[in-house]
């Protein structure tokens, strides 16, 4: 039942902001009991596809990264070795996002990138960690790239990264993170796609090296994409 409702949302039969038809009609349409239907609605609410509003029915919504990451969280908890696969996927994806951003960066985008670097610098000077601003910088690059699908994938990836131990990110090495972020931003702003790719890859490889160091993973386990 859940899959049938989810298919209606994904295929555009139900769009964000639409109200679900009455329970009686949906139960009759799919040949299920209203109890089964309610269970399916509850599951989709937990996944972020539906919002139950008191007195206003059940409304369709577009799930964000946090919601889309939900099915993977228990998998990461039960199989922590998959964290390396997650970071490898990030290393495959984000350098190409940087290339796309370099080809589309506007003056306004450049100003936002510089503002992000300034915020990171102030955070470091205040002796605080970069975790939130680190992830925000990478999300900004995806937004500059101008691809909605890429942005949604990255939002989901970041929601999963936040569940990992913070020392698996270079945010625990703020000076290094800022230096590498600056190199990425400068390449994007100057329209240097190859330079942006190279700087992004070096940054993400530093993340994997920190895992080798701190988690005791054999270097051969940090695989090339």
Q: How confident is the model at residue 62 (pLDDT cuts 50, 70, 90)?
A: low
Tokens 């199989």, residue located: 79
pLDDT of residue 220: 41
Strands (E), 125-200: none
d(CA 38, CA 34): 6
Q: Alpha helices, DSSP H only, in the chain? A: 2-10, 23-30, 34-46, 65-78, 82-104, 107-125, 131-145, 148-161, 174-189, 193-215
Instruction: Give the least confident one: 10-14, 84-88, 126-130, 212-216.
Output: 212-216
Model pLDDT, residue 206:
85
Tokens 């109200």 locate to 19
Label residue 25 exposed, middle or buried (CB < 10 Å: 0-12, 13-18, 19+).
Answer: exposed
With a CB cutoff of 8 Å and minimum separation 6, the contacts of 92 are 225
Distance between CA 185 and CA 179 in Å, rounded? 10
- With 90 as the cut, is the pLDDT of residue 180 above it? yes
The pLDDT confidence band at residue 223, using thresholds 50, 70 and 90, is: very low
Across-strand partners of 103? none
Pairing of strands 57-60, 50-53: antiparallel
pLDDT value of residue 167: 41
Q: How far is CA 152 from CA 41, 66, 68, 184, 187, in A?
A: 23, 10, 9, 21, 23
Two structure tokens written together for 62: 């577009």
Query: Residue 72 pLDDT > 60, yes or no?
Result: no
> How many Å from the N-terminal Cα to the C-terminal Cα in the chain?
38
Q: What's the predicted TM-score (pTM) here?
A: 0.63
Average pLDDT over residues 75-79: 57
Q: What b-and-e string marks burial along 39-66, b requiring 16 or more CB atoms within 10 Å of the CB? A: ebbebbeeebbbeeeeeeebebbebebe
The Cα 207–Cα 200 span in angstroms is 11
């Amino acid at each position: 039942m859940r899959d049938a409702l989810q298919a209606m949302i994904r295929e555009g039969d139900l769009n964000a902001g639409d109200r679900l038809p009455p329970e009686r009609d949906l139960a009759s349409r799919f040949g299920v009991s209203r109890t089964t239907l309610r269970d399916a609605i509850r599951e989709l609410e937990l996944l972020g596809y539906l919002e139950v509003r008191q007195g206003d029915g059940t409304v369709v919504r577009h799930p964000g990264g946090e919601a889309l990451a939900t099915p993977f969280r228990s998998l990461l908890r039960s199989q922590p070795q998959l964290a390396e696969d997650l970071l490898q996927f990030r290393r495959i994806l984000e350098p190409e996002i940087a290339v796309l951003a370099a080809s589309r960066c506007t003056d306004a985008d450049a100003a936002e990138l510089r503002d992000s670097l300034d915020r990171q610098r102030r955070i470091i000077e205040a002796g605080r960690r970069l975790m939130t601003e680190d992830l925000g910088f990478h999300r900004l690059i995806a937004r500059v790239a101008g691809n909605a699908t890429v942005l949604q994938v990255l939002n989901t990836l970041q929601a999963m990264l936040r569940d990992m131990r913070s020392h698996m990110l270079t945010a625990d090495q703020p000076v290094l993170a800022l230096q590498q972020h600056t190199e990425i931003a400068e390449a994007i702003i100057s329209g240097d796609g190859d330079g942006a790719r190279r700087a992004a890859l070096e940054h993400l490889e530093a993340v994997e090296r920190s895992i080798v160091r701190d988690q005791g993973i054999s270097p051969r386990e940090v695989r090339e994409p």
